[in-house]
A = this chain, B = another copy of it.
Amino acid sequence: MSKKAKGSRAERELFHLLWKEGYATVRSAGSGSTSQPSPDLLASNGSKIFAIECKSIKDEKKYFSADELEQLHIFANTFGAEAWLAIRFDNKGWFFLEAKKIPKSKGKNFLVSYSQLQKEGLQFQEFIGKYMQQRLDCTKDI
């Protein structure tokens, strides 16, 4: 399977996972080929809005360019969304990391690794459930 086909399949997988959890989600047309910033997925349940850049990889680490991350932040800030990275490792599943938490690497690149995501990343249920927990906590305060 080509890298592009693998990426699209992963996007579609996450698209359906998000819908199942009550997030209205769109896959962006021409992501990577338009002159405007464009996240792979845009999802909201009416309270949280996520702009998500997806990657599906077989290795244990993934570089992001400064430009790719800047485009994601520009989009998210303008739209009023949170910027997240969703990385799917072969045979290990999805991990989620807030885009601002990705560490700098050499030059202008950023690097996210499986070992970092095991510590700081969220799995899908945590990614979704975390905000349910936050909402419960807010209710308590009232």
Contacts and interface: CB of A to CB of B under 8 A. Distances in A.
Interface of A: 15-16, 19, 22-31, 34, 36-39, 42, 44-47, 49, 74-81
A17 B75 CA distance: 16
A79 B44 contact: yes
Contacts of A77: 46
A75 to B, nearest CB: 5
B78 A22 contact: yes
A31 to B, nearest CB: 8
A24 B45 contact: no
Given A26-B29, A29-B27, A79-B24, A42 B45 contact: no
